[in-house]
Structure 1
C-alpha cells in the first residue's frame, strides 16, 4: 500500500494467496511494480499507476516504468495516468492540444513497446462531476500490455465499469478468461447456388460413400454439404 496524500493519490494491491504470489519490486507515490507468479500461468510484471497531475512529476513515472519494461516477461501496466493523447479522449472544457506532457507519454509508450487493450463500456473514465457547460469528461485510466503479453494471452478483455462513489470508472482487466466456443447451426442460403463451383462441390460431397441406414446417410450428406458450402465461401474457394 502507498498511502494517499490528502484527497488524492494512494495505491493498494490485493491478491489471492491461493492463486498467486506477488513480490514488490518498486514503489513510489505514483506506482507499485511487482512480479506476479500465477499458478499454471507463469510469471508476470504488474505495474499499478496513479500518475501525478504535474507533467514534470509524471516524467519521473515514465523513467521508473521504462526500467521494468525491458524485462523479458509479459507486462501489464494499468491505472490512472492523468494524461490524455488526443481530442477523442476528451469532451468539454478547453480544446485538447498536444502538450509536452502528452508528447512524453506518447514517446514512453513507443519506447516501452506498450499497447493499449481495447475496452468496452463508457468511452471516458473520468468526470469532473460538474454540470452544464462546466462538465468535462476525459479518458485518464487505461490498461497497457507489452508485445510478449499480447502474444501470450488468448483473450485480453478490458471493461470500463460504471462510476460509483468516485469520479473515475473502475477498470477491469481479464487476463485469463477462457475462450468461449459458440456453436451455431448453418442454414442454407439461396444465393450460394449462384456461386461458381458450388454445384461441383455439393456433387463431390454427395457422391462420397457413407455407411448407415438411408435416413442417417441423407442427414449426414446434408450436414457435410452445408458445412462444405459455408467453409468454401469463407475461404473464397468456390466463388
Structure 2
C-alpha cells in the first residue's frame, strides 16, 4: 500500500436501507481501507446483521448500542494485516494493527457521551493508551470542541467546560489535530433561523509517532447526507523511499499566486500541545502542502 484511507461517519443509525446504501456508495467511491461508523444505534443482533452484508470484502468489529444510544462498528480490508479489536467501554473501540508500515499502531474510534462526567472518564481511560508508546490515531464524534471558532450559532457556554477537559486531554497526551479541508463544521442541528447550530464535533487526532510514518496526510469533510454529521475521509501517504528527503523552501515559489495563501492556511489553526511539537507539526503541514502537486502546483 502506498497510502492508508480511513473513513469515519456518525451515521445516526445504521439500520435504514438508505443509510446502508450510502455506506456502500462511500466504500465504492472512496476505496477506504478502514471504515468507522459511530452512533449506529444497533444492538448486538442488528450490528451482526449489518456487518454480514459486508463480510465478503471486509473484516469487522462492533460495540452494540445501549438502547437507541451509541454503538460503534469498524470495517477493515483484509490487506490491513493482523488486526486485534479491543474494547473497555461502550464509548471507544480500539484496533491494534500489525502490518509492514507502520509496523504496529493503534486506531481508537470514539463516540463520546454528551454528559461531562462521562466525557472525563473517557479521556482518563484513553490516556492509558498513550503509555504504550505506539503510533496512535483517534477519530470519531468527540461531542466536544476546542475553541470558539469551532462552533456557530448560540453561545460558547454550552461547550466551554467540555472544551477545557478536551484540550487538557489532547495536551497531556501530546496529540495533534490533523486539520481538515472543506466545511469548518461537521455537525448541524438542521433547525431553521436563529435556532440553527453548527459545530466541529468530529475530527482526527494523532501522536507524533503516527504522523512521522507518513509523507503527507489530509482530512476532507464530505457532504452531509442522511445524518446531521458529515463523513470524514483521512488520506495518509507513506514516504516513497526508505529515506526521508530534506525539505528546503525555494525562493521561486513566491512567484506562484497561491503560495502565500497556502502557507497561511498551513499555519492558521490552533494546536494544543507543547511549543516544540506544535512547531514541528506546523512545518510538516507546510511541507506537505508545498510539495503536493495535486493540492498546490496544479492549482497555481
Counterparts of 1:55-74 in structure 2, within 5 Å, are 55-74=116-135
1:121 to 149, 167, 182: 182
Larger Rg computed on CA atoms: 1
Instruction: Classify 1:131/1:38 alpha carbon distance in 2 versus 1 (closer, same or farther; 3 Å).
Output: farther
Query: 2:237 is matched with which residue: 155, 176, 180?
Result: 176
Does residue 145 (structure 1) correspond to residue 206 (structure 2)? The answer is: yes
Structure 1 residue ranges without an equivalent (≥5): 180-185, 190-239
Moved over 4 A (4+): none
Deviation track 1:168-207 (CA, whole Å, cap 9, x = no partner) reads 011111123677xxxxxx9xx9xxxxxxxxxxxxxxxxxx
Distance 1:177 1:10 in 2: 31
Pairs aligned (count):
181
Deviation at 1:97, TM superposition (A): 6.5
- Structure 2 residue corresponding to 1:83, chosen from 134, 141, 144: 144
**Match among 42, 61, 75 for residue 103 of structure 2:** 42
Secondary structure (helix, strand or coil) at the match of 1:144 reads: strand
Is the counterpart of residue 4 in structure 1 residue 70 in structure 2?
Answer: no
Per-residue Cα deviation, 1:108-135 (whole angstroms, up to 9, x for no partner) = 1011110000110111000111111111
From the superposition, tell whether residues 25 and 5 of structure 1 become closer, same or farther in structure 2 (CA, over 3 Å): closer
The normalised TM-score by structure 1 is 0.70
TM-score norm. by structure 2 comes to 0.56
Aligned position for 1:93? 154
Checking the alignment, whether the CA contact within 8 Å between 2:144 and 2:159 is kept in structure 1 is no
Displacement of 1:139: 0.5
Specify the alignment match of 1:22 in structure 2. Answer: 83
**Which of the two has greater strand per residue?**
2
Superposition deviation, residue 72 in structure 1: 1.7
CA distance in 2, matches of 1:175, 1:6: 35
Q: Tell which has more relative contact order, 1 or 2 (C-alpha 8 A, sep 6+).
A: 2
1:32 aligned partner = 93
Change (3 A) 1:172 1:27: farther
Q: Matched residue of 2:72: which SS?
A: coil
Corresponding residue number in structure 2 for 1:133: 194
Unaligned 5+ runs, structure 2: 1-61, 241-251, 256-300
The yes-or-no answer on 1:103 pairing with 2:164 is yes
SS of the residue corresponding to residue 15 of structure 1 reads strand
